[in-house]
Amino acid sequence: MNELTEISSHAFRSLHLLHELTLQNNHLKQVPFEALQNLRNLRSLRLDANFLSHVPASSFRGLRSLRHLWLDDNVLTAVPVRALRDLTELQALTLAVNKISRVPDGAFSSLTQLLVLHLHDNRIHSLGRRSFDGLYNLETLDLSFNWINSFSGAIKHLNNLRELNLQNNNISVVPADAFSGNPSISTINLKNNPVHSVGHSSLQLLPDPQTMFLSGQGLTGSVDFTGTNRLETLKSDQLFTFTFMVHHREDGSSKRTAVMATCSLGVPGQTVSVGPVGTLIQDLLSSEVSSSCSSCSSFSVCDIEDEEVKQTSAD
C-alpha cells in the first residue's frame, strides 16, 4: 500500500507503450487525468481503494485501448456517465463498494463491448428500464448487496447475459416474464431476498440455466420449467416447500407429459441442493424419484393428451 495523494502530469510522459497501470490502495482524491491522457496503449487501469468522490468527463480521454477499469472501493455517489463515454473498447468495469444510489438511463450506452459489470455493495434502490441500454454483449452483471426491489425491466434486453447476481437485495416478487429477454442466462442468484412469489413461467423456455440460488420468506410457488432442460441445481439456504412443473415431449410425439413435484428444500444454516434437475425429470417420468431427490415428498405424472394421471409418493 502506498500513500500517494496526487500524481504529476508528467509522471508517465515517456510510457507510450504501457499496457497496465496499478494505482490502487492510495489516497488519491482526483483522477490524474493529465498524467493518463497520453497512454494510448493502456489496457488495464486500477484506481480502486482510493478516495475518489467524482470522476470528471475528461478523466479517461485518450484511453482508446482501455479494456479493464477498476473504480471500486472509493466514495463515488454516482455513475460517472460522461467519463465512461470515451471508453468504447472497455470489456470489464467495476464500480462496486461505493455509495451509488441509482443507475441513470443510458449510463453505459457507449460501452457496447462490455462483458462484465460489477455494481455490488452500493446503495442502488431502483433500476430504470433503460439503465443498461447498449450493453449488447454483457455476460456478467453483479448487483448484489444493494436495496433493489425490482429488476426485470432493466435486464430485458441483455440477450447475452449469462450470470446475474441479485443476492441480498429487497426483491419480493420474481415476475412471470423476469428472464424473458435473457435466453443465454446460466446462473441466477437471488439468495437473501424477501422473495415470497415466483412467477409460474419465469424460467420457461430458458435453454441454458444451470444453477439457481433462491431463498425467501414463506416462499411457495409452482414454476414451469418447460424447455429448461440443462438446469442442474436449485439451491436454498432456508427451509421452504417449492413446487415445480416440467412439460416433457418425446421426439416426434404429439403428447406432452406434465411432471409436478413438491420438494422441501433447505436446512437452516446449511445450503443444500436438489438436482441435477435434468436427471430428476427423467427419474420422475420413470417413477424412480427416490434415486435422484430425497427431498421430494410427492409427484404426479400426467399425459396432457388423454389426461391419465398417476400419483406416486417418494419413499
Question: In the 8-state DSSP scheme, what is residue 291?
Answer: G
Please report which confidence band the pLDDT of residue 239 belongs to, taking 50, 70 and 90 as the band edges. Answer: very low
pLDDT of res. 129: 92
Nearest residue to 71 (alpha-carbon basis) of 102, 30, 34: 30
Please report which confidence band the pLDDT of residue 109 belongs to, taking 50, 70 and 90 as the band edges. Answer: very high
**pLDDT tops 70 at residue 258:** no
Q: Which CATH architecture has domain 1-170?
A: Alpha-Beta Horseshoe (3.80)
Domains of the chain, by residue range, sit at 1-170
pLDDT of res. 14: 85
Q: What is the mean pLDDT of the chain?
A: 77
Considering only 29-43, 96-110, 227-241, which range has the smallest mean pLDDT? 227-241
Average pLDDT over residues 12-41: 93
281 phi and psi angles, rounded to 5 deg: -60, -45
Nearest residue to 179 (alpha-carbon basis) of 160, 202, 196: 202
The amino acid sitting at 267 is V
